[in-house]
Chains A and B, each alone.
Chain A
Protein backbone atom coordinates (compact mmCIF):
# COMPACT_ATOMS: atom_id res chain seq x y z
CA UNK A 1 0.00 0.00 0.00
CA UNK A 2 1.57 3.27 -1.10
CA UNK A 3 0.42 6.74 -0.17
CA UNK A 4 -0.84 7.18 -3.73
CA UNK A 5 -3.01 4.06 -3.22
CA UNK A 6 -4.55 5.79 -0.18
CA UNK A 7 -5.32 8.82 -2.35
CA UNK A 8 -7.11 6.62 -4.90
CA UNK A 9 -9.04 4.75 -2.20
CA UNK A 10 -10.38 8.06 -0.87
CA UNK A 11 -11.02 9.38 -4.41
CA UNK A 12 -13.01 6.29 -5.44
CA UNK A 13 -15.16 6.51 -2.30
CA UNK A 14 -15.97 10.17 -3.05
CA UNK A 15 -16.99 9.40 -6.62
CA UNK A 16 -19.11 6.43 -5.50
CA UNK A 17 -20.84 8.59 -2.91
CA UNK A 18 -21.52 11.28 -5.52
CA UNK A 19 -23.04 8.80 -7.97
CA UNK A 20 -25.50 7.77 -5.23
CA UNK A 21 -26.40 11.33 -4.22
CA UNK A 22 -29.61 12.25 -6.04
CA UNK A 23 -29.39 15.83 -4.79
CA UNK A 24 -26.60 16.38 -7.33
CA UNK A 25 -29.06 15.57 -10.14
CA UNK A 26 -31.36 18.26 -8.78
CA UNK A 27 -28.47 20.70 -8.60
CA UNK A 28 -27.53 19.89 -12.21
CA UNK A 29 -31.12 20.45 -13.37
CA UNK A 30 -31.39 23.80 -11.52
CA UNK A 31 -28.03 25.01 -12.84
CA UNK A 32 -28.86 23.95 -16.41
CA UNK A 33 -32.27 25.64 -16.24
CA UNK A 34 -30.72 28.85 -14.89
CA UNK A 35 -27.94 28.99 -17.50
CA UNK A 36 -30.22 28.16 -20.45
CA UNK A 37 -32.88 30.53 -19.14
CA UNK A 38 -30.47 33.46 -18.81
CA UNK A 39 -28.91 32.77 -22.21
CA UNK A 40 -32.32 32.53 -23.87
CA UNK A 41 -33.56 35.71 -22.16
CA UNK A 42 -30.49 37.60 -23.42
CA UNK A 43 -30.80 36.14 -26.91
CA UNK A 44 -27.13 35.14 -26.82
CA UNK A 45 -27.22 31.67 -28.42
CA UNK A 46 -28.74 33.05 -31.62
CA UNK A 47 -26.12 35.81 -31.73
CA UNK A 48 -23.06 33.63 -31.26
CA UNK A 49 -20.54 32.49 -28.66
CA UNK A 50 -19.34 35.88 -27.43
CA UNK A 51 -22.87 37.28 -26.98
CA UNK A 52 -23.70 34.12 -25.00
CA UNK A 53 -20.66 34.64 -22.76
CA UNK A 54 -21.73 38.26 -22.23
CA UNK A 55 -25.19 37.04 -21.17
CA UNK A 56 -23.78 34.41 -18.83
CA UNK A 57 -20.77 36.08 -17.19
CA UNK A 58 -22.45 37.80 -14.23
CA UNK A 59 -24.71 34.83 -13.51
CA UNK A 60 -21.82 32.36 -13.74
CA UNK A 61 -19.76 34.50 -11.35
CA UNK A 62 -22.42 33.91 -8.69
CA UNK A 63 -23.83 30.49 -9.58
CA UNK A 64 -20.55 28.62 -10.02
CA UNK A 65 -19.18 29.46 -6.54
CA UNK A 66 -22.62 28.68 -5.11
CA UNK A 67 -22.57 25.19 -6.63
CA UNK A 68 -18.92 24.73 -5.61
CA UNK A 69 -19.74 25.63 -1.99
CA UNK A 70 -22.76 23.31 -2.03
CA UNK A 71 -20.51 20.46 -3.18
CA UNK A 72 -17.66 21.20 -0.78
CA UNK A 73 -18.89 22.91 2.40
CA UNK A 74 -19.24 19.65 4.36
CA UNK A 75 -16.35 17.79 2.71
CA UNK A 76 -14.05 17.97 5.76
CA UNK A 77 -16.51 19.10 8.47
CA UNK A 78 -18.66 15.97 8.10
CA UNK A 79 -15.89 13.38 8.61
CA UNK A 80 -14.51 15.53 11.44
CA UNK A 81 -17.91 15.54 13.18
CA UNK A 82 -18.29 11.78 12.64
CA UNK A 83 -14.89 11.16 14.26
CA UNK A 84 -13.67 9.64 11.00
CA UNK A 85 -10.60 11.91 10.87
CA UNK A 86 -9.51 10.64 14.31
CA UNK A 87 -9.88 7.03 13.18
CA UNK A 88 -8.00 7.71 9.92
CA UNK A 89 -5.11 9.14 11.93
CA UNK A 90 -4.41 5.58 13.07
CA UNK A 91 -3.99 4.50 9.42
CA UNK A 92 -0.94 5.00 7.19
CA UNK A 93 -2.82 7.72 5.29
CA UNK A 94 -1.14 11.14 5.26
CA UNK A 95 -3.51 14.07 5.49
CA UNK A 96 -2.46 15.33 2.03
CA UNK A 97 -3.61 12.02 0.52
CA UNK A 98 -6.94 12.27 2.34
CA UNK A 99 -7.59 15.94 1.51
CA UNK A 100 -6.33 15.41 -2.04
CA UNK A 101 -8.53 12.35 -2.56
CA UNK A 102 -11.65 14.09 -1.26
CA UNK A 103 -10.86 17.22 -3.31
CA UNK A 104 -10.24 15.23 -6.49
CA UNK A 105 -13.48 13.27 -6.03
CA UNK A 106 -15.59 16.36 -5.40
CA UNK A 107 -13.83 18.18 -8.25
CA UNK A 108 -14.99 15.43 -10.61
CA UNK A 109 -18.56 16.02 -9.39
CA UNK A 110 -18.27 19.80 -9.70
CA UNK A 111 -16.70 19.72 -13.16
CA UNK A 112 -19.58 17.51 -14.31
CA UNK A 113 -22.21 19.78 -12.75
CA UNK A 114 -20.76 22.96 -14.25
CA UNK A 115 -19.25 21.58 -17.44
CA UNK A 116 -22.26 19.64 -18.76
CA UNK A 117 -24.78 22.52 -19.01
CA UNK A 118 -22.17 24.96 -20.31
CA UNK A 119 -21.03 22.47 -22.94
CA UNK A 120 -24.65 21.81 -23.90
CA UNK A 121 -25.17 25.56 -24.23
CA UNK A 122 -22.14 25.69 -26.52
CA UNK A 123 -23.72 23.00 -28.67
CA UNK A 124 -26.93 25.03 -28.78
CA UNK A 125 -25.01 28.09 -29.97
CA UNK A 126 -23.33 25.97 -32.64
CA UNK A 127 -26.71 24.80 -33.92
CA UNK A 128 -28.66 28.06 -33.68
CA UNK A 129 -26.21 30.92 -34.36
CA UNK A 130 -25.21 32.28 -37.75
CA UNK A 131 -22.65 30.55 -40.02
CA UNK A 132 -19.86 33.02 -39.12
CA UNK A 133 -19.63 31.51 -35.60
CA UNK A 134 -18.33 28.22 -37.01
CA UNK A 135 -15.04 29.87 -37.94
CA UNK A 136 -12.16 28.75 -35.70
CA UNK A 137 -10.70 32.25 -35.51
CA UNK A 138 -7.03 32.82 -34.80
CA UNK A 139 -7.23 36.60 -34.99
CA UNK A 140 -9.14 39.40 -33.29
CA UNK A 141 -12.58 40.62 -34.23
CA UNK A 142 -14.22 37.29 -35.06
CA UNK A 143 -16.59 35.19 -32.93
CA UNK A 144 -15.44 31.59 -32.61
CA UNK A 145 -16.07 28.27 -30.80
CA UNK A 146 -12.51 28.58 -29.49
CA UNK A 147 -13.52 31.65 -27.50
CA UNK A 148 -16.33 29.67 -25.92
CA UNK A 149 -13.91 26.81 -25.10
CA UNK A 150 -11.67 29.37 -23.38
CA UNK A 151 -14.66 30.65 -21.40
CA UNK A 152 -15.55 27.07 -20.44
CA UNK A 153 -11.98 26.31 -19.34
CA UNK A 154 -11.70 29.51 -17.28
CA UNK A 155 -15.10 28.85 -15.68
CA UNK A 156 -14.15 25.29 -14.74
CA UNK A 157 -10.91 26.57 -13.20
CA UNK A 158 -12.88 29.22 -11.29
CA UNK A 159 -15.17 26.43 -10.03
CA UNK A 160 -12.17 24.42 -8.76
CA UNK A 161 -10.82 27.51 -6.97
CA UNK A 162 -14.20 28.16 -5.31
CA UNK A 163 -14.25 24.51 -4.25
CA UNK A 164 -10.81 24.81 -2.65
CA UNK A 165 -12.02 27.91 -0.73
CA UNK A 166 -15.06 25.91 0.44
CA UNK A 167 -12.68 23.15 1.60
CA UNK A 168 -10.55 25.39 3.81
CA UNK A 169 -13.69 26.79 5.47
CA UNK A 170 -15.02 23.26 5.93
CA UNK A 171 -11.75 22.22 7.59
CA UNK A 172 -11.88 25.23 9.91
CA UNK A 173 -15.54 24.60 10.83
CA UNK A 174 -15.21 21.25 12.62
CA UNK A 175 -19.00 20.86 12.90
CA UNK A 176 -21.91 20.81 10.44
CA UNK A 177 -23.59 23.89 11.89
CA UNK A 178 -20.46 26.02 11.76
CA UNK A 179 -19.70 24.65 8.28
CA UNK A 180 -22.99 26.05 6.97
CA UNK A 181 -22.46 29.46 8.56
CA UNK A 182 -18.86 29.70 7.33
CA UNK A 183 -19.89 28.56 3.84
CA UNK A 184 -22.58 31.23 3.57
CA UNK A 185 -20.17 33.90 4.79
CA UNK A 186 -17.43 32.63 2.45
CA UNK A 187 -19.79 32.58 -0.50
CA UNK A 188 -20.80 36.17 0.18
CA UNK A 189 -17.15 37.24 0.33
CA UNK A 190 -16.22 35.38 -2.88
CA UNK A 191 -19.19 36.58 -4.94
CA UNK A 192 -19.54 40.21 -3.84
CA UNK A 193 -17.22 40.84 -0.89
CA UNK A 194 -14.06 41.22 -2.96
CA UNK A 195 -15.53 43.80 -5.32
CA UNK A 196 -17.15 45.70 -2.45
CA UNK A 197 -13.80 45.81 -0.60
CA UNK A 198 -11.99 47.08 -3.70
CA UNK A 199 -14.55 49.81 -4.35
CA UNK A 200 -14.54 50.77 -0.69
CA UNK A 201 -10.75 51.09 -1.04
CA UNK A 202 -11.29 53.26 -4.10
CA UNK A 203 -13.67 55.45 -2.16
CA UNK A 204 -11.26 55.70 0.77
CA UNK A 205 -8.23 56.43 -1.38
CA UNK A 206 -6.45 53.14 -0.70
CA UNK A 207 -7.03 52.11 -4.31
CA UNK A 208 -6.43 54.57 -7.15
CA UNK A 209 -7.62 54.44 -10.75
CA UNK A 210 -4.09 53.27 -11.68
CA UNK A 211 -4.13 50.38 -9.20
CA UNK A 212 -7.81 49.48 -9.62
CA UNK A 213 -7.13 46.73 -12.17
CA UNK A 214 -4.48 45.13 -9.96
CA UNK A 215 -6.71 45.35 -6.89
CA UNK A 216 -9.62 43.70 -8.73
CA UNK A 217 -7.30 40.94 -9.91
CA UNK A 218 -6.46 40.12 -6.28
CA UNK A 219 -9.95 38.69 -5.67
CA UNK A 220 -10.94 35.33 -7.20
CA UNK A 221 -14.07 36.75 -8.88
CA UNK A 222 -12.23 39.84 -10.15
CA UNK A 223 -9.34 37.76 -11.53
CA UNK A 224 -11.74 35.35 -13.24
CA UNK A 225 -13.77 38.22 -14.73
CA UNK A 226 -10.58 39.94 -15.85
CA UNK A 227 -9.34 36.81 -17.61
CA UNK A 228 -12.68 36.26 -19.33
CA UNK A 229 -12.54 39.84 -20.63
CA UNK A 230 -8.89 39.44 -21.62
CA UNK A 231 -9.08 36.01 -23.21
CA UNK A 232 -12.64 35.87 -24.55
CA UNK A 233 -14.64 39.09 -24.87
CA UNK A 234 -11.96 41.59 -25.94
CA UNK A 235 -10.47 39.08 -28.38
CA UNK A 236 -13.62 39.49 -30.41
CA UNK A 237 -13.57 43.30 -30.10
CA UNK A 238 -10.71 44.97 -32.00
CA UNK A 239 -8.89 47.79 -30.23
CA UNK A 240 -9.88 46.90 -26.66
CA UNK A 241 -7.41 45.86 -23.97
CA UNK A 242 -8.10 44.04 -20.70
CA UNK A 243 -8.77 45.98 -17.48
CA UNK A 244 -6.58 43.62 -15.44
CA UNK A 245 -3.17 42.19 -16.24
CA UNK A 246 -3.55 38.58 -17.39
CA UNK A 247 -0.39 37.52 -15.58
CA UNK A 248 -1.53 39.11 -12.30
CA UNK A 249 -4.95 37.48 -12.62
CA UNK A 250 -3.44 34.03 -13.27
CA UNK A 251 -1.03 34.50 -10.35
CA UNK A 252 -3.93 35.54 -8.10
CA UNK A 253 -6.05 32.53 -9.07
CA UNK A 254 -3.08 30.17 -8.55
CA UNK A 255 -2.49 31.74 -5.14
CA UNK A 256 -6.11 31.22 -4.03
CA UNK A 257 -6.22 27.69 -5.47
CA UNK A 258 -2.96 26.29 -4.14
CA UNK A 259 -3.06 28.38 -0.96
CA UNK A 260 -6.52 27.12 -0.02
CA UNK A 261 -5.60 23.49 -0.60
CA UNK A 262 -2.37 23.81 1.40
CA UNK A 263 -4.29 25.56 4.21
CA UNK A 264 -6.93 22.79 4.17
CA UNK A 265 -4.21 20.16 4.49
CA UNK A 266 -2.50 22.02 7.34
CA UNK A 267 -5.74 22.57 9.27
CA UNK A 268 -6.76 18.92 8.80
CA UNK A 269 -3.30 17.72 9.84
CA UNK A 270 -3.16 19.81 13.02
CA UNK A 271 -6.69 19.08 14.19
Chain B
Protein backbone atom coordinates (compact mmCIF):
# COMPACT_ATOMS: atom_id res chain seq x y z
CA UNK B 1 0.00 0.00 0.00
CA UNK B 2 1.32 3.44 -0.94
CA UNK B 3 -1.18 5.16 1.34
CA UNK B 4 -2.17 7.64 -1.38
CA UNK B 5 -5.95 8.08 -1.49
CA UNK B 6 -7.33 7.87 -5.03
CA UNK B 7 -11.00 8.15 -4.15
CA UNK B 8 -12.76 9.36 -1.03
CA UNK B 9 -16.33 9.70 0.14
CA UNK B 10 -16.87 12.46 2.69
CA UNK B 11 -20.00 12.33 4.87
CA UNK B 12 -22.01 10.98 1.95
CA UNK B 13 -25.75 10.54 2.30
CA UNK B 14 -28.24 9.12 -0.18
CA UNK B 15 -32.00 8.94 0.18
CA UNK B 16 -34.73 7.67 -2.11
CA UNK B 17 -37.87 9.43 -0.96
CA UNK B 18 -38.33 8.39 2.67
CA UNK B 19 -35.79 5.57 2.44
CA UNK B 20 -32.24 6.29 3.61
CA UNK B 21 -29.77 4.20 1.64
CA UNK B 22 -26.60 5.87 2.95
CA UNK B 23 -26.12 8.00 6.02
CA UNK B 24 -23.03 10.12 6.68
CA UNK B 25 -20.59 7.65 5.11
CA UNK B 26 -16.91 8.56 4.93
CA UNK B 27 -14.49 6.18 3.28
CA UNK B 28 -11.07 6.39 1.62
CA UNK B 29 -10.06 4.10 -1.25
CA UNK B 30 -6.24 4.04 -1.26
CA UNK B 31 -3.95 3.08 -4.14
CA UNK B 32 -2.19 -0.27 -4.33
CA UNK B 33 -4.82 -1.86 -2.09
CA UNK B 34 -8.14 -3.67 -2.12
CA UNK B 35 -10.86 -2.03 -0.03
CA UNK B 36 -13.68 -4.47 0.66
CA UNK B 37 -17.24 -3.52 1.56
CA UNK B 38 -19.08 -6.17 3.53
CA UNK B 39 -22.49 -6.11 5.12
CA UNK B 40 -25.90 -7.77 4.93
CA UNK B 41 -28.18 -7.43 1.91
CA UNK B 42 -29.64 -3.94 1.71
CA UNK B 43 -26.90 -2.41 3.86
CA UNK B 44 -25.96 0.08 1.13
CA UNK B 45 -22.88 -1.53 -0.44
CA UNK B 46 -24.02 -1.23 -4.05
CA UNK B 47 -25.39 2.28 -3.49
CA UNK B 48 -22.05 3.37 -2.00
CA UNK B 49 -20.14 1.92 -4.94
CA UNK B 50 -22.47 3.66 -7.40
CA UNK B 51 -22.04 6.95 -5.55
CA UNK B 52 -18.25 6.50 -5.63
CA UNK B 53 -18.50 5.91 -9.40
CA UNK B 54 -20.64 9.00 -9.93
CA UNK B 55 -23.57 6.92 -11.22
CA UNK B 56 -25.74 8.10 -8.32
CA UNK B 57 -25.68 11.69 -7.10
CA UNK B 58 -25.39 11.82 -3.29
CA UNK B 59 -28.07 13.80 -1.46
CA UNK B 60 -25.37 14.96 0.98
CA UNK B 61 -21.58 15.00 1.23
CA UNK B 62 -19.01 14.77 -1.54
CA UNK B 63 -16.94 12.26 -3.47
CA UNK B 64 -13.44 13.32 -4.51
CA UNK B 65 -11.07 11.76 -7.00
CA UNK B 66 -7.43 12.19 -5.99
CA UNK B 67 -5.73 9.79 -8.39
CA UNK B 68 -3.52 10.55 -11.39
CA UNK B 69 -4.89 11.98 -14.64
CA UNK B 70 -6.09 9.20 -16.92
CA UNK B 71 -8.12 8.69 -20.09
CA UNK B 72 -10.56 6.75 -17.93
CA UNK B 73 -10.40 7.38 -14.19
CA UNK B 74 -12.79 4.71 -12.95
CA UNK B 75 -13.30 1.14 -14.12
CA UNK B 76 -16.57 -0.59 -13.21
CA UNK B 77 -17.78 -4.16 -13.05
CA UNK B 78 -21.55 -4.22 -12.40
CA UNK B 79 -23.12 -6.91 -10.24
CA UNK B 80 -24.47 -8.86 -13.21
CA UNK B 81 -22.44 -7.88 -16.27
CA UNK B 82 -24.42 -8.53 -19.45
CA UNK B 83 -23.03 -7.98 -22.90
CA UNK B 84 -24.74 -7.32 -26.19
CA UNK B 85 -25.55 -10.69 -27.78
CA UNK B 86 -24.45 -11.59 -31.29
CA UNK B 87 -20.82 -10.60 -30.86
CA UNK B 88 -17.70 -12.61 -30.04
CA UNK B 89 -15.65 -12.08 -26.89
CA UNK B 90 -12.97 -10.26 -28.89
CA UNK B 91 -15.46 -8.02 -30.69
CA UNK B 92 -17.11 -7.17 -27.38
CA UNK B 93 -13.92 -6.19 -25.60
CA UNK B 94 -12.77 -4.53 -28.83
CA UNK B 95 -15.72 -2.15 -28.62
CA UNK B 96 -14.75 -0.99 -25.12
CA UNK B 97 -11.03 -0.96 -25.96
CA UNK B 98 -11.69 1.25 -29.02
CA UNK B 99 -13.34 3.85 -26.77
CA UNK B 100 -10.08 4.31 -24.84
CA UNK B 101 -7.47 3.30 -27.47
CA UNK B 102 -6.55 0.10 -25.67
CA UNK B 103 -5.45 -3.29 -27.02
CA UNK B 104 -8.29 -5.85 -26.79
CA UNK B 105 -5.92 -8.83 -26.89
CA UNK B 106 -3.92 -7.45 -23.96
CA UNK B 107 -7.12 -7.09 -21.94
CA UNK B 108 -8.26 -10.66 -22.73
CA UNK B 109 -4.84 -12.10 -21.88
CA UNK B 110 -4.88 -10.11 -18.64
CA UNK B 111 -7.92 -12.05 -17.37
CA UNK B 112 -7.08 -15.36 -19.04
CA UNK B 113 -9.71 -15.24 -21.80
CA UNK B 114 -7.29 -15.19 -24.74
CA UNK B 115 -8.23 -18.75 -25.74
CA UNK B 116 -11.96 -18.03 -26.01
CA UNK B 117 -11.66 -14.79 -27.97
CA UNK B 118 -13.74 -16.14 -30.87
CA UNK B 119 -16.54 -17.55 -28.71
CA UNK B 120 -19.89 -15.72 -28.76
CA UNK B 121 -20.51 -13.78 -25.54
CA UNK B 122 -23.93 -15.41 -25.15
CA UNK B 123 -22.14 -18.77 -24.94
CA UNK B 124 -19.89 -17.86 -22.01
CA UNK B 125 -20.28 -19.37 -18.56
CA UNK B 126 -21.14 -17.09 -15.64
CA UNK B 127 -17.51 -17.05 -14.50
CA UNK B 128 -16.15 -16.23 -17.95
CA UNK B 129 -18.73 -13.46 -18.33
CA UNK B 130 -17.51 -12.03 -15.03
CA UNK B 131 -13.87 -12.24 -16.24
CA UNK B 132 -14.87 -10.45 -19.45
CA UNK B 133 -16.52 -7.82 -17.25
CA UNK B 134 -13.26 -7.39 -15.36
CA UNK B 135 -11.37 -7.06 -18.67
CA UNK B 136 -13.86 -4.34 -19.61
CA UNK B 137 -13.31 -2.65 -16.23
CA UNK B 138 -9.55 -2.57 -16.95
CA UNK B 139 -9.90 -1.00 -20.42
CA UNK B 140 -8.03 2.30 -20.55
CA UNK B 141 -5.96 1.36 -17.48
CA UNK B 142 -8.10 3.26 -14.92
CA UNK B 143 -6.35 4.08 -11.59
CA UNK B 144 -9.50 3.09 -9.65
CA UNK B 145 -11.43 -0.13 -10.27
CA UNK B 146 -14.82 -0.70 -8.63
CA UNK B 147 -16.22 -4.24 -8.58
CA UNK B 148 -19.75 -4.97 -7.38
CA UNK B 149 -20.05 -8.57 -6.13
CA UNK B 150 -17.41 -9.91 -8.56
CA UNK B 151 -17.92 -13.56 -7.53
CA UNK B 152 -21.57 -13.81 -6.57
CA UNK B 153 -23.26 -16.98 -7.82
CA UNK B 154 -20.03 -18.60 -9.02
CA UNK B 155 -18.57 -21.96 -8.02
CA UNK B 156 -15.74 -21.93 -5.42
CA UNK B 157 -12.94 -22.51 -7.94
CA UNK B 158 -14.12 -19.70 -10.21
CA UNK B 159 -14.67 -17.39 -7.22
CA UNK B 160 -11.10 -18.04 -6.13
CA UNK B 161 -9.80 -17.31 -9.64
CA UNK B 162 -11.79 -14.06 -9.77
CA UNK B 163 -10.37 -12.92 -6.44
CA UNK B 164 -6.83 -13.84 -7.57
CA UNK B 165 -7.34 -11.57 -10.59
CA UNK B 166 -8.70 -8.83 -8.29
CA UNK B 167 -5.64 -9.07 -6.03
CA UNK B 168 -3.32 -8.80 -9.04
CA UNK B 169 -5.17 -5.67 -10.22
CA UNK B 170 -4.37 -3.93 -6.93
CA UNK B 171 -0.76 -5.19 -7.09
CA UNK B 172 -0.38 -3.11 -10.26
CA UNK B 173 -0.82 0.04 -8.13
CA UNK B 174 -4.54 0.56 -8.63
CA UNK B 175 -7.07 1.39 -5.98
CA UNK B 176 -9.66 -1.38 -5.92
CA UNK B 177 -13.01 -1.16 -4.14
CA UNK B 178 -15.30 -4.17 -4.10
CA UNK B 179 -18.38 -5.47 -2.36
CA UNK B 180 -18.84 -9.15 -1.63
CA UNK B 181 -20.54 -11.75 0.53
CA UNK B 182 -17.63 -14.18 0.00
CA UNK B 183 -16.14 -13.44 3.42
CA UNK B 184 -13.33 -16.00 3.26
CA UNK B 185 -12.11 -14.66 -0.08
CA UNK B 186 -12.54 -11.04 0.95
CA UNK B 187 -10.59 -11.74 4.13
CA UNK B 188 -7.76 -13.22 2.05
CA UNK B 189 -7.73 -10.52 -0.63
CA UNK B 190 -8.71 -7.20 0.96
CA UNK B 191 -6.21 -4.91 2.68
CA UNK B 192 -8.98 -2.93 4.40
CA UNK B 193 -12.57 -3.80 5.17
CA UNK B 194 -15.50 -1.48 5.71
CA UNK B 195 -18.48 -3.08 7.45
CA UNK B 196 -21.79 -1.51 6.46
CA UNK B 197 -25.13 -1.84 8.23
CA UNK B 198 -28.33 0.06 7.42
CA UNK B 199 -26.50 2.54 5.19
CA UNK B 200 -23.82 3.45 7.73
CA UNK B 201 -20.20 2.36 8.11
CA UNK B 202 -19.94 0.41 11.37
CA UNK B 203 -16.16 0.11 11.26
CA UNK B 204 -13.17 0.23 8.90
CA UNK B 205 -10.07 -1.82 9.66
CA UNK B 206 -7.71 -4.46 8.33
CA UNK B 207 -9.05 -8.04 8.16
CA UNK B 208 -6.50 -9.08 10.80
CA UNK B 209 -7.56 -6.34 13.23
CA UNK B 210 -11.22 -7.22 12.72
CA UNK B 211 -10.48 -10.92 13.33
CA UNK B 212 -8.68 -10.13 16.56
CA UNK B 213 -11.81 -8.49 17.95
CA UNK B 214 -13.42 -11.89 18.44
CA UNK B 215 -10.42 -14.14 18.05
CA UNK B 216 -12.28 -16.21 15.44
CA UNK B 217 -12.73 -16.11 11.67
CA UNK B 218 -14.00 -12.96 9.97
CA UNK B 219 -17.62 -14.09 9.75
CA UNK B 220 -17.77 -14.27 13.57
CA UNK B 221 -16.47 -10.72 13.86
CA UNK B 222 -18.89 -9.65 11.16
CA UNK B 223 -21.85 -11.22 12.98
CA UNK B 224 -20.85 -9.80 16.37
CA UNK B 225 -20.38 -6.31 14.89
CA UNK B 226 -23.84 -6.38 13.33
CA UNK B 227 -25.43 -7.79 16.51
CA UNK B 228 -23.83 -5.00 18.52
CA UNK B 229 -25.07 -2.44 16.01
CA UNK B 230 -28.61 -3.86 16.21
CA UNK B 231 -28.47 -3.76 20.00
CA UNK B 232 -27.47 -0.08 19.91
CA UNK B 233 -30.33 0.69 17.54
CA UNK B 234 -32.83 -1.22 19.71
CA UNK B 235 -31.55 0.45 22.91
CA UNK B 236 -31.83 3.87 21.26
CA UNK B 237 -35.38 3.16 20.13
CA UNK B 238 -36.37 1.97 23.64
CA UNK B 239 -34.66 5.05 25.15
CA UNK B 240 -36.49 7.33 22.72
CA UNK B 241 -39.81 5.71 23.63
The contact of A90 among B76, B81, B82, B87, by CB within 8 Å, is B76
Q: Check if B1 is an interface residue, CB within 8 A of chain A.
A: no
**Looking across the interface, which residue of chain A has its beta carbon closest to that of B80?**
A83
* Interface residues in B125-174 (C-beta closer than 8 Å to A): 136, 139-140, 142
**Looking across the interface, which residue of chain B has its beta carbon closest to that of A78?**
B84
Q: Check if A92 is an interface residue, CB within 8 A of chain B.
A: yes
Known: A20-B86, A21-B86, A82-B83. A91 touches B100 (CB 8 A): yes
Which residues of chain B have C-beta atoms less than 8 A from A1's C-beta? 71, 98-101
**Cβ B100 vs Cβ A89 within 8 A:** no
* Interface residues in A46-93 (C-beta closer than 8 Å to B): 78-79, 82-84, 86-93
The contact of A91 among B54, B81, B87, B140, by CB within 8 Å, is B140
Q: In the complex the two chains form, what is the Cα distance from A79 to B85 in whole Å?
A: 11
**Cβ A13 vs Cβ B95 within 8 A:** yes
Which residues of chain B have C-beta atoms less than 8 A from A88's C-beta? 99
Q: In the complex the two chains form, what is the Cα distance from A21 to B71 in whole Å?
A: 33
Q: In the complex the two chains form, what is the Cα distance from A76 to B68 in whole Å?
A: 33
Which residues of chain A have C-beta atoms less than 8 A from B72's C-beta? 90-92
Q: Output the least CB separation between B175 and chain A (Å).
A: 14
Q: Check if B199 is an interface residue, CB within 8 A of chain A.
A: no
A interface secondary structure, majority: helix
* Interface residues in A90-138 (C-beta closer than 8 Å to B): 90-93
Q: Output the least CB separation between B148 and chain A (Å).
A: 10
Q: Output the least CB separation between A24 and chain B (Å).
A: 12
Q: In the complex the two chains form, what is the Cα distance from A13 to B91 in whole Å?
A: 9
Q: Check if A254 is an interface residue, CB within 8 A of chain B.
A: no
Q: In the complex the two chains form, what is the Cα distance from A13 to B136 in whole Å?
A: 16
**Cβ B87 vs Cβ A87 within 8 A:** no
Q: Output the least CB separation between B178 and chain A (Å).
A: 15
Instruction: Give the most central of A13, A87, A90: most B CB within 10 Å.
Output: A90
**Cβ A92 vs Cβ B84 within 8 A:** no
Q: In the complex the two chains form, what is the Cα distance from A84 to B98 in whole Å?
A: 16
Q: Check if B193 is an interface residue, CB within 8 A of chain A.
A: no
Known: A83-B80, A86-B76, A86-B78. A92 touches B99 (CB 8 A): yes
**Cβ B84 vs Cβ A84 within 8 A:** yes
Which residues of chain A have C-beta atoms less than 8 A from B96's C-beta? 87, 91
Instruction: Give the most central of A13, A20, A79: most B CB within 10 Å.
Output: A13
Q: Check if B74 is an interface residue, CB within 8 A of chain A.
A: yes
**Cβ A83 vs Cβ B78 within 8 A:** yes
Q: Check if A259 is an interface residue, CB within 8 A of chain B.
A: no
**Cβ B71 vs Cβ A90 within 8 A:** no
Q: In the complex the two chains form, what is the Cα distance from A232 to B103 in whole Å?
A: 53
Q: Check if B55 is an interface residue, CB within 8 A of chain A.
A: yes
Q: Check if B53 is an interface residue, CB within 8 A of chain A.
A: yes
Interface string of B82-123 (1 = CB under 8 A from A): 111011000100011011110000000000000000000000
Q: In the complex the two chains form, what is the Cα distance from A79 to B81 in whole Å?
A: 11
Interface string of B176-202 (1 = CB under 8 A from A): 000000000000000000000000000
**Cβ B82 vs Cβ A83 within 8 A:** yes
Interchain residue pairs with CB less than 8 A apart (18): A1-B99, A13-B95, A16-B91, A78-B84, A82-B82, A83-B78, A84-B82, A84-B83, A84-B84, A86-B50, A87-B96, A87-B136, A88-B99, A89-B54, A90-B142, A91-B140, A92-B72, A92-B99
